[in-house]
Amino acid sequence: MKLKNILLGFLLVGFLWSCQEKMEEKPPVKAEKKFEYIADQFADIKVLRYQIPGFDELTLKEKELVYYMTQAGLAGRDIMWDQNYRHNLEIRDALENIYTTYNGDKTTKDWLAFQEYLKRVWFSNGIHHHYSNDKIKPNFKADFLTYLLKETDTKLEGEAFDVIFNDKDAKKVNKKKGVDNVASSAINFYGPTITDADVDAFYKTAYKGPEGRPIEAGLNSTLVRENGKLVEKVWKSGGLYGSAIDEVIKWLEKAKGVAENQKQAKTLGLLIDYYKTGDLNIWDQYCISWATSTEGNIDWINGFIEVYNDPKGYRGSYESIIQVKDFEMSKQMAVLSENAQWFEDNAPLMDSHKKSDVVGVSYKTINVAGEAGDASPSTPIGVNLPNNNWIRQEHGSKSVSLGNIINAYNNAGGSGRLHEFAYDEEEIELEEKYGQLADKLHTALHEVIGHASGLINPGVGQPKETLKNYASTMEEGRADLVGLYYLMDPKLQELGLVDDWQAVGKAAYDGYIRNGLITQLVRIELGNDIEEDHMVNRQWVSAWVYEKGKADNVIEKIEKDGKTYYNINDYKKLRELFGELLREAQRIKSEGDFKAAQDLVEGYGVKVDQALHAQVLDRNQQFKSAPYSGFVNPVLVPETNEAGEIVDVKVTQPDSFEQQMLDYSSKHSFLE
What are the DSSP E strand ranges found in 244-403? 298-306, 317-325, 361-373, 380-385, 397-402
Give percent of the chain above pLDDT 70: 94
Query: What is the structure's pLDDT at 572?
Result: 98
- In degrees and rounded to multiples of 5, residue 653 shows phi and psi of -115, 140
Q: What is the H or E stretch that residue 39 is in?
A: strand 38-42
Burial 243-254 (b: 16+ CB within 10 A, else e): ebbbbbbbbbeb
Average pLDDT over residues 488-506: 96
Closest CA to 543 of 612, 483, 442, 469: 612
Strands 2-4 and 380-385: antiparallel
Q: Phi/psi of residue 235, each to 5°?
A: -85, 105
Res. 241: pLDDT tops 90? yes
Q: How confident is the model over 312-339, as pLDDT tens digits?
A: 999 999 999 999 988 777 776 788 889 9
Where do the H-state alpha helices sit in 518-667? 533-548, 571-591, 594-604, 610-620, 657-667
pLDDT digits (tens, 9 = 90+) for 153-169: 999 999 999 999 999 99
- Give the whole-angstrom CA distance, residue 519 versus residue 501: 25
As a whole number of angstroms, the distance between CA 444 and CA 403 comes to 12
| DSSP structure string for 180-204 | -TTTT---TTB-TT--HHHHHHHHH
386 prior amide bond cis, ω within 30:
yes
Task: Round to whole Å and give the CA distance between 486 and 453.
Answer: 13
Lowest mean pLDDT among 4-13, 113-122, 510-519: 4-13
Percent of the chain with pLDDT over 90: 82
Confidence class for position 21, pLDDT limits 50, 70, 90? low
Residue 14 has pLDDT above 60, yes or no: no
Query: Per residue in 263-305, pLDDT tens?
Result: 999 999 999 999 999 999 999 999 999 999 999 999 999 999 9
Distance CA 488, CA 479 (A): 15
Is it the case that residue 139 has pLDDT exceeding 60? yes
Per-residue pLDDT averaged across 417-435, rounded?
94
The reported pLDDT for the residue numbered 11 is: 37
The model's confidence at residue 6, banded by pLDDT at 50, 70 and 90, is very low
157, burial (CB in 10 Å: exposed 0-12, middle 13-18, buried 19+): exposed
Instruction: Examine the pLDDT at 12 and tell me if it is beyond 80.
Output: no
Which segments within 213-360 are labelled E, that is strand?
221-226, 229-234, 298-306, 317-325
Reported pTM: 0.81
Mean pLDDT for the chain overall: 92
pLDDT in tens, 183-201: 999 999 999 999 999 999 9
Strand-pair partners of 566: 557
pLDDT band at 20 (very low <50, low <70, confident <90, very high): very low
Residue 16 pLDDT exceeds 50: no
Spatial distance between the Cα atoms of 322 and 76, rounded to a whole number of angstroms: 14
Distant-in-sequence, close-in-space partners of 361: CB < 8 Å, separation ≥ 6: 337, 340, 396, 397, 399, 448, 449, 452
3 state DSSP class of 319: strand
Residue 202 has pLDDT above 50, yes or no: yes
Q: Does 381 have pLDDT greater than 80?
A: yes
- Quick one: CA torsion of 588, 442, 629, 84, rounded to 10 degrees? -30
Please, are residues 597 and 470 in contact by the beta-carbon 8 Å criterion? Answer: yes
| Neighbour-count burial of 394, counting CB atoms closer than 10 A to its CB (0-12 exposed, 13-18 middle, 19+ buried) | middle
Sheet holding 628-631, edge to edge: 38-42, 45-48, 628-631
352-371 pLDDT, tens per residue? 999 998 886 777 889 999 99
| Residue 136 to residue 117: CA distance in whole angstroms | 8
Distance CA 133, CA 176 (A): 12
Q: Is 32 exposed, middle or buried (0-12, 13-18, 19+ CB in 10 A)?
A: exposed
Distance CA 33, CA 505 (A): 31
What is the C-alpha to C-alpha distance for residues 658 and 672, in angstroms, rounded to an integer? 24
Per the DSSP assignment, residues forming a β-bridge with 229 are 226
Residue 336, φ and ψ in degrees, nearest 5:
-65, -45
**How far is residue 84 from each of residues 81, 405, 535, 642, measured CA to CA in Å?**
5, 24, 20, 42
Contact present, 402 and 381 (Cβ < 8 Å)? yes
